[in-house]
Amino acid sequence: MENSKRSFFDSSFRYKKVIVRVFFTCLIFYLYSNIIIEFIPSLDKTIKALRFVADILIILVSFYSFRVESNRAIQLFIGVYLSLSMFTFAINANEVSLSTHFNGLREPLVFLCTLAFYNYLFNAENFLPLIKRFNKFLLFFAVTQIPFALNQFVIYGAGDFVGGTFSKGGSGILTISLSILVFYFLLNYSSDLHFNKIKATRMIWLFVLLIPVFINETKISVFILTAMFALLVINKGQIFLTIISSITGIIILVLFAYVYDGVSQGQDQVGGENKLTQFFSYDFIYEYTFAGDQNYFSENDIPRFYKMVLLYEVVYKDPLVVLFGKGYGVFKGQNFLGVNNDAQIKYWHIYRGSKTMITTAILQGGVFLLVILLIAIFYFLFKDIRSSRHFNFLRFRIFLIFIFIVLVVYNDSIFVNYISVFYSYFIMFAFNEEKILQAMMNNN
């Protein structure tokens, strides 16, 4: 009976406690490493070296979690990934060195390993105290985005530089991360006892956390916020909450449009003044996603969807390259500091700026890598979704599915370890719905 009450932090679980603390120390370091570089640029190489160490530690401690029976699927994904990567190296050995290959392997590997580690936590004995402590950190993390984002907004104005602790250029990542966090907090702090309804009185204050989203120029925000409020409005028999959610959503979107249009006047963006109303015009969408000439490309970031066209031109002539890619690490460099290699120079037009998950995956590991990552993500999000008995968890899963579909064509943050270790937590949280609810009910 006594053992059943022990948590990860009990003295009798010292080894496990060390493993868990190493993992979450690396995670916290990941999430704040960019803002350290922004304020102290001289630490850039040091931070990159520490990220490399953190990657290795994450992989090593995650191997400890493979003992969990429910991690067999993840072990299969990792085994297939590593096996196929050998073929990728074999067909690109003349262009990609062994050090570059191993350096590039760790990006998807860290993501897959963290899925295993989080699943291990949710299957461990009395994990709830640890999750509650982590929730406090996540709330702290969300709140700290506001002052950093406001400071960046004052200095640079609305734009990609408003990235919070993800630093300059991290506006898209910040928008997606905060949207997931707010929905996660709604699930944890605004649900009724059976996780079927959301209490309106506890809902409004959480939207304060979205302030950074309203003051950066991320165009994807419109679609993410619309999806969020649509899912919140869908409530069986909750007319009051439906009205409150609808009104709140309209007010927030109107304020977002007003602030965005006000601060973006006079800024030279693709498509002119870059007003919110232009987002839905054909000319803006075409220019933002595909258009441009060589003079434009030499001075600006190439539109992410046009990079897919360029990617096709790189790989289409060789079926083996389509399947296995041009080599892991072509975007990473020959060592952990990201030193440019010949591949980066050769594919500079794809490497620079915004890249989609499709582009990064296919260029490095081919269609096989893209398929492995998509299966690893959506297998856990869709598994047993029909049998979900708690409407708020179902809402959260649907929102995550929408977010990751967006990520496939929006950015390659799954390949950015200080982001992917963050996203993988929410995937496994949704997947372990029944275990989490049972632990919460037993705790009450």
Q: What is the pLDDT of residues 251-268, one digit of tens each?
A: 666 666 555 555 555 444
Best CA proximity match to 211, nearest among 186, 185, 179: 179
The gap from C-alpha 392 to its chain's centroid, in whole angstroms, comes to 21
User: Token pair for residue 95?
Assistant: 């262009």
Kindly state the average pLDDT of the residues 200-213.
Answer: 76
Residue 209 has pLDDT above 80, yes or no: yes
pLDDT at 98: 85
- What pLDDT is attached to residue 433? 82
Q: What is the mean pLDDT of residues 19-39?
A: 90
- Global pTM reads 0.81
Percent above pLDDT 70 for the chain: 71
Distance from C-alpha of 174 to C-alpha of 241, rounded to nearest angstrom: 27
- Of the pLDDT bands very low, low, confident and very high (cuts 50, 70, 90), residue 271 is very low
Residue 85 has pLDDT above 70, yes or no: yes
Q: Report residue 93 CA to chain centroid gap.
A: 31
- pLDDT, residue 377, reads 93
Q: What is the pLDDT of residues 403-428, one digit of tens each?
A: 999 888 888 888 888 889 889 999 99
Share of the chain above pLDDT 90, in %: 24
DSSP-based three-state secondary structure for 389: coil
Summary mean pLDDT of the chain: 77
Q: What is the pLDDT of residue 239?
A: 46
42 vs 337 pLDDT, higher one:
42
pLDDT at 5: 44
Q: What pLDDT is recorded for position 296? A: 46
Of 54, 113, 96, residue with least CA distance to 329: 96
Mean pLDDT calculated for residue range 139-152: 92
Is the pLDDT confidence value at 106 over 80?
Answer: yes
What pLDDT sits at residue 16?
75
- Please tell me the predicted confidence (pLDDT) of residue 269: 43
182-206 burial string, b = 16+ CB within 10 Å, else e?
bbbbbbbebbeeebbbbebeebeeb
- pLDDT at residue 97 tops 60: yes
Mean pLDDT of 10-30: 76
The Cα 42–Cα 55 span in angstroms is 22
Q: Give the gyration radius of the chain's Cα atoms.
A: 22
Given this model, what pLDDT does residue 274 score? 47
User: Per-residue pLDDT for 72 more than 70?
Assistant: yes
In whole angstroms, what is the distance from residue 381 CA to residue 407 CA? 15
Q: Is the pLDDT of residue 180 over 90?
A: yes
Q: What pLDDT does residue 294 have? A: 45
Rounded Cα distance between 138 and 115, Å, is 18
Model pLDDT, residue 335? 56
DSSP state letter for 198: B
Q: Kindly indicate the confidence band of residue 78, based on its pLDDT and cuts at 50, 70 and 90.
A: very high
**Which range, of 43-47, 115-119, 346-350, 395-399, averages the lowest pLDDT?**
346-350
Q: Which residues of 232-261 are buried (b: 16+ CB within 10 A; e: fewer)?
A: bbebeebeebbebbeebbeebbeebbebbb
pLDDT digits (tens, 9 = 90+) for 326-337: 888 877 665 555
Task: Let me know the angle formed at the C-alpha of 366 by 360 and 367, rounded to the nearest 5 degrees.
Answer: 105
CB 210 within 8 A of CB 254: no
- Separation CA 337–CA 344 (nearest Å): 14
